[in-house]
Amino acid sequence: MERRNFFKKCGLSAASLLMLDKTFAIGDSLFSETDYKRNTAIKPIMGSWFEFYHTFAPEGIYWNPVLPKFTEQQWRAKIKEMSEAGLEYLVLMAIAFDGKTYYPSKLQPQHEYDCPDPLETVLSAADECGIKFFISNDFWSDWQNSKNNMTNEDVAKIRQKGMEEVAERYSHHKSFYGWYFPNESGLWNTIDETTITYVNNCSRIAKQLTPRSVNLIAPYGTHSIRLDDKYVSQLEKLDIDIVAYQDEIGVKKTRVGYAGKYYEELYKAHSKAGRARLWADMEIFEFEGDVYKSALIPASFDRVLKQMEDISPFVENILVYQYLGIMNKPGSLASVGHPNSGKLYTDYTNWLKAQR
């Protein structure tokens, strides 16, 4: 997810700054069960990003040392745990990283994990749980150089070979729902031509290999979009099934209670374009220390619930970044993440049960 570059480079737009006085303050106390029951219109979390390793090391210090040691049993348990929490969709961040793959490949060496084939394991577990996976088609080159990844012909060639290899090995799984194209150039005012060319090329290959695939992108820069006729015309060119825009709360590019205004305008733009389903990529993390320079840790459920309430009227589904390491079932066989991840899990699942 290109939020990692966005973390480092972007500030709030002038328009965003003018609106911040209209945001909501969120306290530390949890909502009572009575309060939960009043919020029946709030959409639940339907899915999450998923990774075998967090690419930006300072952010993943609470789970990066643990994940390579996960056994097959633990990966399967984690998928089951996510399903039990109501998740229907998982978005795999990367199939390769730092010159190595997360599955046995002829294209690059494989990362040394205790589980011989983590990708096969999680897809098999997802088959049993009814979870749908969007499978990444990258990072075969430096994940931080998005422009190169999107435009370099050599990278495009190995990416296509990787998609062919992954489709041959894994597309028989019923959980193989579609593809995720993780490189993003940021939506500065509108969708740029580089993004359109890259996404459309990836979509063309995806449909050739897996004709029934449903494909997804999750762009950043949501706060900076000019939702005008130019944006609509660019969206019309984009061959993608789902756009899950990042809400940018965790990276502090906007505040709780204001992101819904973006999604309301995005809803109008997507309706006008008649192209791509509108989902949300909702950030449920905050930073342990300095923004962009420290570990990702769980946000309070108060904040998360307000985010859900804010964007629910305008999106089809809410995905989060991310369950793994940020939410964690207490006592799980596959325990991984920040110590407070169990509290966020418990608070959220208690709310979810109260809606039923």
Tens digit of pLDDT for each residue in 286-323? 999 998 899 999 999 999 999 999 999 999 999 999 99
Domain locations along the chain: 3-355
pLDDT digits (tens, 9 = 90+) for 339-353: 999 999 999 999 999
How many other C-beta atoms are found inside a 10 Å radius of the C-beta of residue 329? Answer: 20
Q: Minimal CA–CA distance to 121: which of 80, 64, 60?
A: 80
Q: Work out the average pLDDT over 258-273.
A: 95
- Give me the count of residues in the chain: 356
**216, 178 Cβ separation under 8 angstroms:** yes
Peptide bond into 139 cis (omega under 30): yes
d(Cα 321, Cα 48) in Å, to the nearest integer?
Answer: 6
Q: Strand (E) positions, 183-328? A: 216-217, 242-246, 277-283, 285-287, 296-298, 318-321
Identify the band that residue 18 occupies on the pLDDT scale cut at 50, 70 and 90: very low
pLDDT digits (tens, 9 = 90+) for 224-257: 999 999 999 999 999 999 999 999 999 999 999 9
- Record the pTM: 0.89
Per the prediction, the chain carries an average pLDDT of: 89
d(Cα 214, Cα 247) in Å, to the nearest integer?
Answer: 22
DSSP per-residue codes, 323-349: SBBTB--TT-TT--B-TTHHHHHHHHH
Which helix H or strand E contains 89, and what residues bound it? strand 89-92
- pLDDT value for 90: 98
Does the structure show a pLDDT above 70 at 26?
no
Q: Minimal CA–CA distance to 221: which of 268, 254, 257?
A: 254
| 186 φψ region: left (φ > 0), alpha (ψ -120 to 50), beta (else) | left
**Superfamily of the domain at 3-355:** Glycosidases (3.20.20.80)
Does the structure show a pLDDT above 70 at 39?
no
- pLDDT value for 31: 35
Residue type, 225: I
- pLDDT value for 9: 40
Distance of CA 79 to the CA centre of its chain: 16
pLDDT digits (tens, 9 = 90+) for 43-77: 999 999 999 999 999 999 999 999 999 999 999 99
Which residues lie below 8 Å from residue 34, measured CB to CB, with a gap of 6+?
Answer: none
Of 81-95, 120-134, 184-198, 321-335, the range with the lowest mean pLDDT is: 184-198
By CB atoms closer than 10 A (0-12, 13-18, 19+), residue 351 is buried
Does the structure show a pLDDT above 80 at 37?
no
- pLDDT value for 13: 36
